[in-house]
Amino acid sequence: MAAKFLIISILDLLLGINFLSPITLVQNSLVKNEVVYLDPKTQNVPFLLPTVETNYFPIRDWGISDPALLARSAILYDLSSEKILFGLSPDSKLPIASLTKLVTAVAVIEHMNLDDVVKIKKSAIDKSTKEGGGNDLYEGEKIKASDLLKLMLIESSNVAAYAFAEHLEEKYQVNLVEKMNEKAKILEMENTFFTEAAGLDDKDSFSTGQDLIKLVKYSFRYGSLYDILKTQKTEVFSIDGILRHQILNTNELLDRLLNIIGGKTGFTELAGGSMVLVTEAPINSSRLIAVVLGSNDRFGDAKKLIEWAAKAYLWK
């Protein structure tokens, strides 16, 4: 009894109400958490406890089992509710291959003018081929930065990533890899480190599914990135109009899955298959972010996660 009166006294002090005098509870809604009290003398409402709107959706149907994936790590995140819908070793530090180019793109957008003309140098081509990448640009070619960004994100051009690094160093005295790691630190990607801009040399580079969710959430502020990432095919030209590049997206899910907002693929022998995929949630007010790392079937795993979420959760 003493404990009961002690609690009431503390409430008296906090709310300025004498709970020992008659007060009538007239409404108590569990849905909105509203509590309204009437003063017994004036019948006026002396205070209204705050209304708290709680969104419990999506709600898991535990009758549906977890998806069987081939990935070493995977995570599925709902942006609206900020819920992790599925996790498979989401904090495992793993190489991420060309998913690196997502943070490269963010750093490029934030530290240079996309109207710049970038000259492709032999050093960028040599670095790509040395690390096991191909050559999709020409030595001496001049190309607009915004078009180079399309090459880097749609077909995952490694030469484009290295050309951006050289251009930023020469024109702006900016070290691209340093800016990438600075951005990771700002975004509290505590288990992430980059050693180069393309993601080819990934012996000492790593990230986690959990960290990549933070990066993707941040990248939504640049809608132009997702306009590029969901482009299935396009073409760009050198500044003089002589050289034409036909670009095909490396994301095979663009014609296999509905409501894709964007995605990025990656693959090296060390990293295996990796993927970031962003789609509309089963209700259009949200987005789903899927990250798959170290998979022998990155497209199958990502597709399986998105389709599983529609069945394993009640959305409204």
Is-contact 93 206, C-beta < 8 A? yes
Instruction: Provide the token pair at 62.
Output: 């535990």
Residue of 73, 128, 156, 205 marked active site: 156
**Does residue 146 carry a catalytic annotation?**
no
**Does residue 205 carry a catalytic annotation?**
no
**Does residue 101 carry a catalytic annotation?**
yes
Residue of 73, 83, 101, 295 marked active site: 101
Is-contact 199 165, C-beta < 8 A? no
SS (H, E, C) the chain: CHHHHHHHHHHHHHHCCCCCCCCEEEEEECCCCEEEEECCCCCCCCEECCCCCCCCCCEECCCCCCCCCCCCEEEEEECCCCEEEEEECCCCCECCHHHHHHHHHHHHHHHCCCCCEEECCHHHHHHHHHCCCCCCCCCCCEEEHHHHHHHHHHCCCHHHHHHHHHHHHHHHCCCHHHHHHHHHHHCCCCCCECCCCCCCCCCCCEECHHHHHHHHHHHCCCHHHHHHHCCCEEEEECCCCCCEEEEECCCHHHHCCCCEEEEEEEEECCCEEEEEEEEECCCCCCEEEEEEEEECCHHHHHHHHHHHHHHHEECC
Q: What positions carry a catalytic annotation?
A: 98, 101, 156
